[in-house]
Each structure stands twice: as C-alpha cells, then as structure tokens.
Amino acid sequence: MPSRRDYLASFGGGLGTLGLAGCLDAGPPTQSARETRTPTPPPEPHAFGERAILGSVGVAPQVVQVQESFHRVLNSSWGAVERVEDHWVVFVELAVDTPETASIPVDSIRLVAGDEVFVAQEAFADVPARDVYLDHLISPQLPYDPDSNRTGWVGFVVPSEYSTPDDVTLQIHYGGDVVAWTLPSASAGRLSDPLPTFELVSFDGPETTPTDGTVELKITATNDSAVAGVFRACVNTTGPTGVRRPHRRRVPLDAGAEATTTVELTTSNYTTESETTFECYLRTADVGRSLSISVVD
C-alpha cells in the first residue's frame, strides 16, 4: 500500500494554482486536487451532521458516500456508468443557509487528511458535475452551486488504497474562518481499501413478447475482488414509440458474492405494432451489452 507521501512523490514536484476543478499538480483534471499543507489549523471538529456557523453562513453536511463508480446522465433518455481509474469518489451532501449577500465558493470546501488537502472537483473522469446522477442515498441531484442552490453535493477524488491518518475531516475555509467535521470512520476507512471489481455474468431477456405484454430483463454480476462494493448498471431502450428513460440499478455485493437484479418493461411503451422490435442496451463501468426483442401476437 503506498504511503501518502510516496503517492505525492510519484506525481513530481511543483504544485499548480488552486482551482475549482483542476489539480494542484501537473496531472489531468480527474486526478486528486491536493496540496501538502493545511492553511489554517481548524478548531475542534464538529460531529458529522452538526450545523456549524461561519460568520452569517450556516452549514451542515448531511450524507457522505464513498463510491467506486457513479451513474452518468448522457441526455434525458440515455445514461451510463463511469468511474475514475484507481480512485475513490467521495460525495458529500451539504445544506447551506446563507444570506443573499454571501456565498461559499466550491473550492473552499475540502477533505483534509493529515497534512494533505483534497479540493472539491467540478468534473469526474471528464464527466461534468452537472451530469453525475447520484445514488438515492444522497437526495439532491444537483451539485452545490453557491449562486443558485443552497442544498447540493460536492465531490472529491481520492486515490484508492490511500494511507489515511486516524481522522479525515471535511473543512470549509470562508471569510478568514475555518470549520471542520470529522468524516464518519467507516467512510474514512473505506479510502484505504482497494477498489472492488465486478464481472458481468449475464444480461438476459426474452426473444419475443406480445404487444400487450411485459418484459423482464435480468442482470447478474459477481464481485470478484476481496472487498465489498456496489455494482452499478444502466439499461437504455429504443423503440418505435417514444417512452424512453434510463433504468438505473445499484446492487451492493460482498466480496465473492453474486446477485441478480431485474428491469421490468411494458412492451407498449416501446412499440404497439406486431412484427416490430425494440432494443435494450446495458451499460456498466466496464462493458456494454445489448438485446433485441421482437414483438409478436
């Protein structure tokens, strides 16, 4: 397992300028934005979820989710699953209460591990934050925007198998003040794990269906790694009629476990005529598969 300093050394020397989405080193935007010092020693951290005050601004982190992959919105009827290679993505839901004259910049929100700082990102694996579709565990689908919405999420990219100190804190630096919250131990500990890996075992469905029928698609996956994780899948559909939306699935899997999840479709939403077909496309973080289903009476 690489140490924190070995990891930094592997990227070379100089640090770049701190930006909203860019790295603090010379790497691409999807690598971890980080620096090797904490600008101001924070006060005693709050418990995660506790509301804190910075001047006239109230902030409470509500949910944290450490993910190996995430759903992506390509358009209103098409989705995908993405990941940041060799990195965890940490999503934190924030409730921010500010007067109209105040706003907290996104790049003042940070994860701090020892003497290293990970800055909130605006893109993940080249996916803009606005196109990330979060799991249901985090309620607002919009990323935090200091100019328009007061409740939203921020995201951080942290290398997998990261040697963290005992405490990892979420910090906000604003108006000369600093507040901090201790990340829940389960979430902080997850960062030191290797990323789980999955194998798509099968993507099955019927070859035919009547015009007034339903179709059940079955997706079976195995966690072939030594750590628990979440397998994510998205099924997209096309057909002569226009009801199309992504069908997203989230399947927690223990190490070595296998599970099947289903997607049920109503045939008439995709075609109402016999002797036609509609297509189903499966996307995971690693592979894509497709099925063609014929409609017969």
pLDDT digits (tens, 9 = 90+) for 260-277: 999 999 999 888 888 999
Kindly state whether residues 141 and 81 are assigned to the same domain: yes
Across the range 183-212, mean pLDDT stands at 95
Across the range 225-229, mean pLDDT stands at 97
Q: Among 71, 67, 107, which Cα is nearest to 87's?
A: 67
Q: Please state which of the ranges 69-83, 134-148, 167-181, 200-214 shows the lowest mean pLDDT.
A: 134-148
Across the range 41-66, mean pLDDT stands at 90
What φ, ψ does residue 59 adopt, rounded to 5°? -135, 140
Kindly state whether residues 256 and 172 are assigned to the same domain: no
Return left, alpha or beta for 55; rule: phi > 0 is left, psi -120 to 50 is alpha, else beta: left
Q: Please state which of the ranges 4-13, 84-93, 94-103, 182-191 shows the lowest mean pLDDT.
A: 4-13
Check residue 141 and give its pLDDT: 80
Check residue 208 and give its pLDDT: 96
Check residue 241 and give its pLDDT: 80
Q: Among 26, 50, 219, 189, which Cα is nearest to 113's?
A: 189
Percent of the chain with pLDDT over 70: 84
Check residue 166 and give its pLDDT: 72
Check residue 87 and give its pLDDT: 96
Q: For 11-31, b where at least 16 C-beta lie within 10 A, e where not — what string?
A: beeebeebebbbbbbeeebbb
Q: Where are the beta strands (DSSP E) in 125-183?
A: 127-128, 132-133, 151-159, 168-174, 177-182
Split at pLDDT 50, 70, 90, the class of 10 is: very low
Token reading at 105: 């910049």
Check residue 297 and give its pLDDT: 82
251 with 221: CB under 8 angstroms?
yes
Q: Among 135, 167, 157, 116, which Cα is nearest to 232's?
A: 135
Q: Please state which of the ranges 115-124, 145-154, 169-178 shows the lowest mean pLDDT.
A: 145-154
Q: How far is CA 270 from the centre of its chain?
A: 30
Is residue 149 pLDDT above 90, yes or no?
A: no
Q: Count the domains in the chain.
A: 2
Which residues pair with residue 247 across a beta bridge? 235
Which residues pair with residue 263 across a beta bridge? 217
Split at pLDDT 50, 70, 90, the class of 151 is: confident
Q: For 232-260, b where at least 16 C-beta lie within 10 A, e where not — what string?
A: bbbbbbebeeeebebbbbebebeeeeeee
Split at pLDDT 50, 70, 90, the class of 54 is: confident
Kindly state whether residues 96 and 12 are assigned to the same domain: yes
Rounded Cα distance between 158 and 66, Å, is 10
Kindly state whether residues 119 and 98 are assigned to the same domain: yes
CATH of the domain at 73: 2.60.40
Check residue 129 and give its pLDDT: 95
* Greater pLDDT, 129 or 147: 129
Kindly state whether residues 186 and 204 are assigned to the same domain: no
Kindly state whether residues 23 and 108 are assigned to the same domain: yes
Across the range 62-70, mean pLDDT stands at 96
Check residue 271 and give its pLDDT: 86
Which tens digits make up the pLDDT trace of 114-131? 888 999 999 998 999 999
Q: Mean pLDDT highest for which of 143-157, 165-179, 217-231?
A: 217-231
Kindly state whether residues 128 and 269 are assigned to the same domain: no
Which tens digits make up the pLDDT trace of 18-48? 233 333 333 334 445 665 444 556 679 999 9
Kindly state whether residues 150 and 272 are assigned to the same domain: no
Q: What residues have CB less than 8 Å from 148, skipping those under 6 apart?
A: none
Given 168, 190, 212, which residue is the final one in a domain?
A: 190
CATH of the domain at 215: 2.60.40.10
* Greater pLDDT, 77 or 33: 77
Range of the domain at 108: 4-190
Strands 132-133, 70-75: pairing kind: antiparallel
Kindly state whether residues 73 and 167 are assigned to the same domain: yes
Across the range 208-226, mean pLDDT stands at 96
Kindly state whether residues 123 and 259 are assigned to the same domain: no
Rounded Cα distance between 178 and 57, Å, is 12
Given 139, 164, 190, which residue is the final one in a domain?
A: 190
Kindly state whether residues 61 and 133 are assigned to the same domain: yes
Q: Mean pLDDT highest for which of 20-24, 241-245, 252-256?
A: 252-256
Given 163, 190, 217, which residue is the final one in a domain?
A: 190
180 with 110: CB under 8 angstroms?
no
Across the range 211-225, mean pLDDT stands at 96
Kindly state whether residues 186 and 208 are assigned to the same domain: no
